Amino acid sequence: MTNLALAEWIVILLILAANLFWLFALVRVASDETGTNRVVWIVVVALTHVFGAVAYFLVGRKSAIVRRYLNGISRVVTNSKK
């Protein structure tokens, strides 16, 4: 083990955590979003790193969940009309 100070270890762990969070956000965007929204969010998250990832989880993910919910409701309504 090297002689790094505690503060340096904390910084290294924070950088590692930020990169893992960013990677997790990219995976979530790719799996949650569809169409143009997917491309836009991937570009935003990829170019702005952690800031884009936080923005996606605060704004984009909620809209994806609402779209998925409303899409499910519309399928139920159209299937019940048949």
Claim: this prediction has a pTM higher than 0.85? no
| CA end-to-end span of the chain | 68
Cα-based angle 20, 42, 27 (whole degrees, multiple of 5): 40
Is residue 47 in some structural domain? yes
What's the maximum distance between 2 C-alpha atoms anywhere in the chain? 71
Domain count within the chain: 1
pLDDT of residue 57: 86
Is residue 53 in some structural domain? yes
pLDDT band at 33 (very low <50, low <70, confident <90, very high): confident
What angle do helix axes 61-81 and 6-32 make, rounded to 10 degrees?
A: 20
Domain span holding position 73: 6-81
Is residue 1 in some structural domain? no
Is residue 50 in some structural domain? yes
